[in-house]
Amino acid sequence: MKIVIVGPGAMGLMLAARLAMAGAQVSLLDHRAQRARTINEQGVLLEHSQGQERLAIPAGADSAALADADLAVICTKAYHTQEVARTLRSHLNPQARALTLQNGAENVETLVDALGPERVLGGITSEGATLLGPGKVRHAGRGVTHIGPARGLLDDYTCQVRDLLIKAGFETEANEGVQNLIWTKVVINAGINPLTAILDVLNGQLLELAPAREVMAEAVAEAVAVGKALGVRFLHQDMLAAVQQVARRTGTNISSMRQDVLSKRRTEVAYINGAVVRQGEQVGLPTPVNRTLTQLVQAKEAEYLGEANKD
C-alpha cells in the first residue's frame, strides 16, 4: 500500500516515521516547497523513549504525487481541510481513499463532499507528538487510535489500514460510526488543548492544578451534552475519566494548540471548542465555558498574529 501523508506537522511526521520503520512505502506532501526540500535533505528525525531514528522519507510539494497513492492520510490543521479536499478531488487516484486523523468536528464532512463517502475514512488518535523543527518530531506519549468508514459498515480496506497501523506500533481499533469517533476526540481536545495553551503547561500538569481540573470538567460536560443531543455514542462511558487518562498518558506532551501558541501560529480552537459552541447553538444548549476558552485562545492569537497575518 502506497501512503501519502498530507501535512508534515507533528502527527504527520510521527506517522510517516513509524510507518516507514514498519516497512510501508510512505511519502510526505507539504504545501511549503522549502520545508519539503529540507526534509528531503536531512530526513525525518524521530525521538522516542528508546532513543532516536533518522529515516529517509521522500517529501515534496507537488500534488501530482497523489496520483500513485493508495491512501492519503490527512494530518493538516483543520482550517486547511477545504484546500486539501480540493487538491484530493483533483489529484488523488480514483481508487484511493483518504483518512483524516485531524483535530476538529467537521473534517470528515468536508472530505465526503469532495470525494464521496465511500472514499473517506475518519479517525482519532490520542498518540502524543511534539514538533521539534522541520522534519523533527518527538513521540511524546502513547495512546489508542480508532478508525472507521465515513458511512456504513466496516470493510476489508478499513481493516487493512488498521492492521498497517498496528504493524507500525500503534494500538488501533476499527469502528463503525465515525461521528462517534470524531466527537470523542473533540471532547478530549476541548478539555485539554485550550487550557494547556492558555496556562502554558504540559498536558499532565492540568491534573495537578485544581482550578484547571474544574474548568476541564465543565468544558467536557458541555461538549458531552452537545454530542449526546446530536446522537453521538461516545467510545467511553465516562468521558471525563477518558480525558483525564489521555492527559495522564501524554503527561509530558506539549499539546498541538500550545505548540501553535508558542510558535505564534493560528490554532484550531475554532474547530474544537468553537465547534462545540456552534453545535450547541443548533441544539439549543448553552456552552459558556467552551465559548470563553475559545475567546481566550483567539485573544492570544490576535495578540501575536494581528490583522495582517492569517496563517
Report which of 74, 102, 95, 70 is spatially closest to residue 86, judged by C-alpha positions. Answer: 74
Residue 85 in grid coordinates? 479536499
Question: What are the phi and psi torsion angles at 38 (to 5°)?
Answer: -60, -45
Residue in the structure block whose three cell numbers are 453545535: 279
CB 13 within 8 A of CB 132: no
- The catalytic position among 185, 228, 300, 310 is 185
Calpha distance 23→125 (Å, rounded): 21
Calpha distance 187→243 (Å, rounded): 8
**Strand order through the sheet with 128-133:** 51-55, 44-48, 136-141, 128-133
Calpha distance 152→54 (Å, rounded): 39
The DSSP code sequence of 245-307 is: HHHHHTTT---HHHHHHHTT---SGGGTHHHHHHHHHHHT---HHHHHHHHHHHHHHHHHHTT
* DSSP 3-state of 77: coil
Q: Which residues contact 14 (CB under 8 A, 6 or more apart)?
A: 46, 127, 129, 137, 139
Q: Which residues contact 41 (CB under 8 A, 6 or more apart)?
A: none
Whether 185 is a known active-site residue: answer yes
Calpha distance 110→259 (Å, rounded): 25
Residue in the structure block whose three cell numbers are 473517506: 120
Calpha distance 277→141 (Å, rounded): 29
Question: Which residues participate in catalysis according to the annotation?
Answer: 185
